[in-house]
A and B are shown apart, each in its own frame.
Chain A
């Protein structure tokens, strides 16, 4: 952006922002109770997108992420086939991301980068796009109504309008009531009809707020680490975990090495746990913070927090990618002695 463009004033945008803030103040503090922000109900496990359907809302969001990524890939492929050498706009940003990933992977794994980047690069792009998709309006706010299964706040509902045969309701924070649910009570089919005091079960929810998503990615990353280790070193890779040769030859130190090897084996499982809980905890805490602050102080503060969330989405994707890369690069070289010269830096 050059001087002339930055000097050009855009008063229209300023008025749009002010109007939005005014609408926010009206809705939060003065308007009818139906417009007021709703305090969040915190639900840890993902819920089905419709009663009885075996697809959870975080899976639905993951599918949206996948579709976006596939479109991105098709676009990038068509661009590379078109023969233009200078990328513009969107593809410029995409090329910058890919180049950055490539430089990071190449810096720590050397000639193995071509084989490693498909795995870690995919993980980065998936987490990155998933964390960005999560921020779209409609996530965690549009869903179907259900009577609460656990003790907690439930809201009365107000009918807004009807699309075909599908009535659309909004929940009314003024009609909040603390529902105490008997945990031994079995839900029957009739209770899936319209409830009087309802909770919203969202259709879409950020993929990384579901532990299944992050755990699956962590398992993939760690299993692929073992695969690359065996690819680089052959069966000798497993001597890192069970150093039989040193146990036979080394005497007392061999026994210590054996125990250390077992610890390495435990460490691999600890890596899976820390990988999955790091991503899940960060994103879940972010969503919790956004909805809590959004219900307590709905004006002016949430946009800043959204900015913070975007930053954290990128940082967490980068951290997952970087840790996976570094674990893979340490798996590529043998644990003790003889082959340290092979390391590429």
Chain B
């Protein structure tokens, strides 16, 4: 508490770490998408290309959330006053 600058810096790093908590959801989402995709491909191997395309699409959307978290964390560390 003696050094306000160091205190604020520490809080910033803490906030960035907390912001990355949002990746839990994204990780779950990507995992579920992959599990569903693999199951579907196992049941119907002929449709694998279409399933794969849609699986990657879904994973990209789920992963976008994690990327937003990363962007927020980076902004907290480097850009926020």
B-binding residues in A (CB < 8 A):
42, 44, 104, 274, 277-278, 280-282, 284-285, 315, 318-319, 322-323, 326
Contacts and interface: CB of A to CB of B under 8 A. Distances in A.
B56 A322 contact: yes
Nearest to A274: B64
A278 B60 contact: yes
Contacts of B1: none
A42 B67 contact: no
Contact of B64 (A277, A318, A326): A277
Interface string B45-81: 0000000010011001001101110110010011100
Contacts of A278: 60, 63-64, 67
Contact of B57 (A44, A281, A323): A323
- Helix, strand, loop or mixed for chain B's interface? helix
A80 B53 CA distance: 30
B79 to A, nearest CB: 7
Contacts of B67: 277-278, 280-282, 285
Contact of B79 (A44, A318, A322): A44
Given A274-B64, A281-B67, A44 B53 contact: no
Interface string B11-38: 0000000000000000000000000000
A116 to B, nearest CB: 16
A187 to B, nearest CB: 19
Interface residues of B, number: 15
B33 to A, nearest CB: 13
A277 B69 CA distance: 10
A104 B64 contact: no
Contacts of A280: 67, 71
B71 A281 contact: yes
Contacts of B71: 277, 280-281
Nearest to A282: B67
Contact of A322 (B57, B77, B78): B57
12 contacts: A42-B78, A44-B74, A44-B79, A274-B64, A277-B71, A278-B60, A280-B67, A281-B67, A284-B70, A284-B74, A315-B56, A318-B56
A277 B61 CA distance: 12
A164 B54 CA distance: 57
A251 B33 CA distance: 40
Please provide the 3 A-B residue pairs with the shortest distance between their CB atoms, ordered closest to farther: A281-B67, A319-B60, A281-B70
A278 B77 CA distance: 19
A104 B53 contact: yes
